Structure 1
Amino acid sequence: MKTMKSTMARLFALCLTVAMVLSMATMGAFAAPVASEPTGTITINSAASDNDAEVDLYKIIKVNMVNVGTEEKPVFQPQDPVYIWVDAVATWLETNANATYKGYINASNNAITDSFKKATAAQLSKFFHDMKAAIEPGEDEKVELELTAAKSITISGTAQEITGMEMGQYLVIAEKSAYVYSPATVTLAPVWDEGSKAWVLNDASVTVKGKGGIEKTVTGGDLQYAVGDTVNYRLDVVIPTYPEGATEPAFNVGDKMGVGLTWSGSVTVYWSEDGIMNTVEKGEGDNVTVVPDPEYRVDASNYALATPEDDPELAEDEITFEVRFDYKNLIKNCSGAKYVHVVYTAILNEDAFTTDSLGNDAYLGVNTDPYDDNSYETTDTHEQVYTYGINVTKVDANNHATTLAGAEFTLKNADGTEVQFVETGDGVYVKYAAANYKPGDNITPVTTLEVAPNGTLQLKGLDIGTYTLTETKAPGGYQLPASPVTTITLTDSEPNGKLDDGTTASGSMLVDKVSADGNVISFKLGNTKPGFELPTTGGMGTVLFTAGGLVIMACGAALVLVTLKKKKKAED
């Protein structure tokens, strides 16, 4: 009996030990609640070209954490309002002249508001740009927003970890000579983890990306054009920073346009402090337009405009133009300028439909060593606009392999105006634009479009939109359809120069399928031959009827004679 009890005791002790071990392991599987305000790690991601950029992180929003435990065993949890502007930012917002920014703060507790949470990307971009400008010293060396960077680093590598960062949102400002950086934000905030049943702090990352000091924009928001249209370009360029005694402070900006673009021959330059071109409204009522503010125009005495005609080296490199700034005069005469904005235009010409004809590369050229003229380097930026075309093949409606020559068409745009073209080959037409020709060029625009001997018709240099293609003359030996109109819609919603699913063609003449390949829609239009013949005078039709009538008459006469003879015999 004692042996039995002893065995049971040992088993009980073993089970108790296993239970304790399991309970300890289970407790260790869950993260403990936040026992103190934790810190986290922020990773700065960048490209190799961003090496040596200086990065400052400014804490602008703090997380409201409260102790719900005891002083001996504190447990911190977030409390409403969770996100609160730091004191310096709160003061800047409350005293800001911008009413929108004032709406981003609850004046009673400095908390962020729904207006800030619901702000659009464009609004936030401007807000953080303005905050960045407020942090940086002005011309009088004063700052609007007195913030001290929580952390500052110099980029070396494509991913750098910054440890020991307090919870909150940080404004990330990067700077590097001849590079443009937009301010970014990164947030370290507690999140509830269902697995551990606790508030935990995850690490965060942010990417800083330099734009190489230059960014190119097609203003107006449209990248789709027809031949003859004017494209408005703007280059936003950071002014390089050279030391006062620099002997070689090179600062050049240029553009290399594709063969499908004709430069207008002039540029206008403006300056700004924050990289956003200053504008004013011009006109009244419905005619109000936004134009560059003339107060910020850079006088032409601060730069020289060079072209291939002036400099053979530009011709060798196929450069369209180059703006060569007098760096010292620019800095002196445009006090406070940190950016220049080069504005110019180009027109789509008759070569706009050739491969890569509408791309163009702008560049910024600086000396990386301000004392060495041989240290000149350029940074490029690319921009692309697009144009479109229509390809038609005329075929026999009953035999699609048989192509037909001799057909003629006209093309009208959405408002019913006939589009004018210039014929550049058999059945090949490019949209006409007077601006692309000189008075002595002897060019005559046409609206009648004749297919090539092989039955093809190519219309080039069109914008997106709806067109009507009308056949006005049928191929020889074929009839003109009762409804000779084909409606064509060209769409490119990206835009990326590729016609999308919204591109269609409809009409009674269509045969086979409609296809869109790149920037061209292609389809076949069929014609039929007349399907009937009319009888002619003296033809076989009349002879047959006449002969038949004579036979019937002869039979009738014979029948009468036979009847009379029988009657006479009967009387005899």
Structure 2
Amino acid sequence: MKSLMKKVFAAAAAIATVFGLAATTVATANAADNATLTVSTTDAKFAGKTVNAYKMFSATVSSDGKAVSHTLTDKWKPFFKDSVGLNGATDENINDKANDYVSKLTGNDLVAFATKASNWAQNTANGITADATATVSADASNGKYTATFTGLDYGYYVVAVPGATLANANSQYATLVSVHSTSVNADIKGALPTVVKTVNGESATSAKIGDPLTFTLTSTIPDMSAYSTYTFNFKDTLSKGLSFKQVDSVKVGDTILTKDTDYTVSTSEGSDKNTLLTVTMLNFKNQQTNAGKTITVTYTATLNKDAVVGGHGNTNSATIQYSNNPSTGGTGESEPSKVRVFTYGFTVDKYTGDNYDDAATRLAGAEFTLTPKNDSTPISFVRVNAGSATENAVYRVAKADETGTTTIITPENGKVEFQGLKNGEYTLTETKAPAGYNKLASAIGVKVDGQNNGTDTTNATVTITYNNNNGSVYNQTASNGVIPVQNKSGAILPGTGGMGTIAFTVIGVLVIALGVAWTLKRKNA
């Protein structure tokens, strides 16, 4: 008899300690079922998102809160029978088997179970709905974005954010949480689709107008188990200063996908003359076997004549449009990933006089070429503005399909702007001086050094340094990007030959002749 009683109490204790909770007595009726569950995250991408809570097991907690028993809800029985595949599970024993199965899960097995449970719950084919829904706060409090469920029954819940079907840093997709008291806290699990964009392999770069640029969009294939179909599109916005050329490749891992079979490409013009690029994935659900692998889009574009010079640069941003609700077929959009392409310039101020100031005389008609350092081919420019007594002349780098000029001419106000240059060293050569002035004896070395902070919206910092002997040491800084270039007027130099000496000789002979004649006249008198 004693042996039988020990077995009865042992069985009761085992049920009471399911999921690792210590039991000191057989559970009794709950004192109250009015629990609050607060889930939180530090990830701002979850702000405003919906969170669903699915009750897998109901719970009965003892009056002292030290013992808990769990009962599998009817709607979750098919999950354990069909998806988990418990051996020998029947309607009569499914509760005990499910309790036993979950209580023994640890580590990666528990994480995998949470993923499977979350996907099963969200799959509309299984016909269950969330027991409670909450919304993540739009603003962080104490560094966290929170969603609060109130009035919950005690139980064991699967908590998931629709669309968060990518593993987080701990390889988790969903939260499993025991609600056994009136106030419970847990973390939001999983990650939302994101995209990382680079230009020439960086978050920002410099280029001259007409340069080709390579953009790469990188994302991760989500787990689409909960979905019958899945939307996954790359959406890219190129600023007005960037001209789209073509999509070079779309890859899953190292496998190249086929255009018009696996994806399509479309472009349209935005409201401010920018380019809207969309790479639409076709039959993306077929990529389920590649969940967790990277997917990359590579395309090329060029910096064009509308490029912003300096300033905040030419911004290019991309997002992922993705399915975020298997029940409604809704979609969400990732946070944008931005890159910036910068192009720079400087100004030459041609003057004469001993002092460089506003009162100095400016010179028109000086001609220059600009060549990359250690290169013999001058850069071709398009004249945007010829300049005047009050306006600077403006020249920008010519694109490959434009007819430009390599000769830059200063206007009446002496100032000419060189625009559309990338970082680097250049040689500025005066090829012709204004009439009446001596040409510079040496070329001028110019260094363009633009610094920027990638995706921030602050302006770039551009430093223009130069030297007057085209050397490698740039020992002078151009204030506000202006390089003063002085010309000196030509001096009147002495000459030989011509009529000058002949005239003096003739005059001398005449003087002598007149003197002789006068002397002879006096003798004869």
- Shorter-chain TM band: 0.5 to 0.7
With normalisation by structure 1, the TM-score equals 0.50
- 5 Å matches for 1:443-454? 443-454=402-413
Whether the aligned pair in 2 keeps the contact of 1:271 and 1:337 (CA below 8 Å) is: no
Aligned residue type for 2:262 = N
Q: 1:448 to 1:489 in 2, by over 3 A?
A: same
Q: 1:179 to 1:411 in 2, by over 3 A?
A: farther
Q: 1:256 to 1:45 in 2, by over 3 A?
A: same
- How far 1:338 moved relative to its partner? 4.3
CA contact (8 A) 1:240 1:366 kept: no
Partner in structure 1 of residue 396 of structure 2: 430
Counterpart mapping for 1:161-240 below 5 A: 177=163, 183=169, 213-221=194-202, 223-240=205-222
SS at structure 2 position matched to 1:49: helix
* Kept after mapping to 2: 8 A contact 1:178/1:366: no
Change (3 A) 1:544 1:402: farther
1:342 equivalenced with 2:297 (yes/no): yes
Match of 1:359 among 285, 310, 315: 315
Pairwise CA distance, 1:135: 11
Deviations 1:162-188 (A, max 9, x none): xxxxxxxxxxxx998468787389xxx
Whole-angstrom CA distance in 2 between matches of 1:382 and 1:388: 20
Secondary structure of 1:379's aligned partner: coil
Cα distance change, pair 526–211 in 1 and its aligned pair in 2 (3 A): farther
The alpha-carbon deviation at position 303 of structure 1 amounts to 2.1
* TM-aligned CA deviation for residue 236 of structure 1: 1.4
Which of 451, 461, 469 pairs up with 2:428? 469
Contact 2:313–2:341, Cα closer than 8 Å, also in 1: no
Instruction: Name the CA distance, whole Å, in 2 between partners of 1:181 and 1:402.
Output: 69
1:50 has 2:46 as partner: yes
Among 419, 427, 452, the alignment partner of 1:460 is 419
Which amino acid letter does the alignment assign opposite residue 169 of structure 2?
P
- Report deviation, 1:402: 1.7
The alignment covers a number of residue pairs equal to: 348
Distance across 1 between alignment mates of 2:382 and 2:273? 32
- Counterpart in 1 of 2:26? none
Structure 1 245/539 Cα, relative in aligned 2: closer, same or farther at 3 Å?
Answer: closer
8 Å contact from structure 1 (residues 251, 364) kept in 2 = yes
**Residue aligning to 1:507:** 468
Where 2:336 maps in the other structure, the secondary structure is strand
Task: Report if the CA contact (8 A) 1:488-1:506 is conserved.
Answer: yes
Partner of 2:252: 271
Distance 2:273 2:417 in 1: 33
Who is 2:11 aligned against?
none
Alignment of 1:528-543 (within 5 A): 528-534=488-494
Distance between the aligned counterparts of 1:218 and 1:428, measured in 2?
A: 28
CA distance in 1 between counterparts of 2:192 and 2:467 reads 45
1:489 pairs with 447, 453, 459, which one? 447
Do the aligned residues in 1 keep the contact of 2:368 with 2:432 (CA within 8 Å)?
A: yes
Question: How has the CA–CA distance of structure 1 residues 338 and 533 changed in structure 2, closer, same or farther, with 3 Å as cutoff?
Answer: closer
Contact 1:394 1:526 in 2 (8 A): yes
Partner SS state of residue 331, structure 1: helix
Q: Which amino acid aligns with 2:251?
A: Y
Q: State the alpha-carbon separation in 2 of the partners of residues 45 and 472 from structure 1.
A: 65
Q: Which whole-Å deviations, capped at 9, do the CAs of 1:544-567 have from their partners, x for residues lacking one?
A: 9979x979x99xx99xx9xxxxxx
Partner Cα separation in structure 2 for residue 349 and residue 233 of structure 1 = 15
Cα deviation, 1:14-73, whole Å, max 9, x if unaligned, reads xxxxxxxxxxxxxxxxxxxxxxxxxxxxxx97244335799xxxxxxxxxxxxxxxxxxx
CA drift of 1:322 comes to 0.3
The 1:360–1:220 alpha-carbon spacing in structure 2 relative to 1, beyond 3 Å, is closer
The 1:452/1:506 distance shift into structure 2, 3 A limit, reads: same
1:398 to 354, 360, 363: 354
* Mapped contact 2:164–2:191 kept (Cα < 8 A): no
Q: Paired residue for 1:255? A: 236
Distance (whole Å) between structure 2 residues aligned to residue 513 and residue 405 of structure 1? 24
Partner of 1:278: none
AA aligned opposite 1:402 = T
Shift of 1:347: 1.5
Partner of 2:280: 324
Q: Is the 8 A contact 2:50 2:161 kept in 1?
A: yes
1:524 equivalent to 2:484? Answer yes
Distance 1:160 1:376 in 2: 21
Q: Which whole-Å CA distance do the structure 2 matches of 1:317 and 1:233 have between them? A: 20
Q: 2:162·2:324 contact (CA, 8 Å) conserved in 1?
A: no
Partner of residue 299, structure 1: 258
Q: CA deviation at 1:471?
A: 0.2
Q: Could you tell me how far 1:209 is from its partner in structure 2?
A: 12
1:7 matched residue in structure 2: none
Q: CA RMSD in A?
A: 4.8
SS in 2 for 1:265: strand
Given residue 515 of structure 1, which amino acid in structure 2 is its aligned partner? A
Per the TM alignment, residue 395 of structure 1 is displaced from its structure 2 partner at its CA by 0.9
The aligned amino acid for 1:394 is: K
Q: CA deviation at 1:264?
A: 1.6
Q: SS where residue 339 of structure 2 aligns?
A: strand
Change (3 A) 1:45 1:266: closer
Alpha-carbon distance change, 182 to 264 in structure 1, aligned in 2, over 3 angstroms = farther
Gaps of 5+ in 2: 1-39, 52-106, 117-134, 146-159, 172-186, 387-392
The 3-state SS of whatever aligns with 1:320 is strand
5+ residue gaps in structure 1? 1-43, 55-131, 142-153, 162-173, 186-205, 273-292, 438-442, 562-572
**Aligned residues of 1:178 and 1:239 also touching (Cα < 8 A):** no
Task: Indicate conservation of the 8 Å contact 1:359/1:385, yes or no.
Answer: yes
Change in CA separation of 1:508 and 1:540 when aligned onto 2, cut-off 3 Å: farther
CA distance in 2: counterparts of 1:351 and 1:316, whole angstroms: 12
Cα deviation, 1:58-102, whole Å, max 9, x if unaligned, reads: xxxxxxxxxxxxxxxxxxxxxxxxxxxxxxxxxxxxxxxxxxxxx
| Correspondence 1:381 to 2:337 | yes
- Determine if contact 1:227/1:432 at 8 Å carries over to the other structure: yes
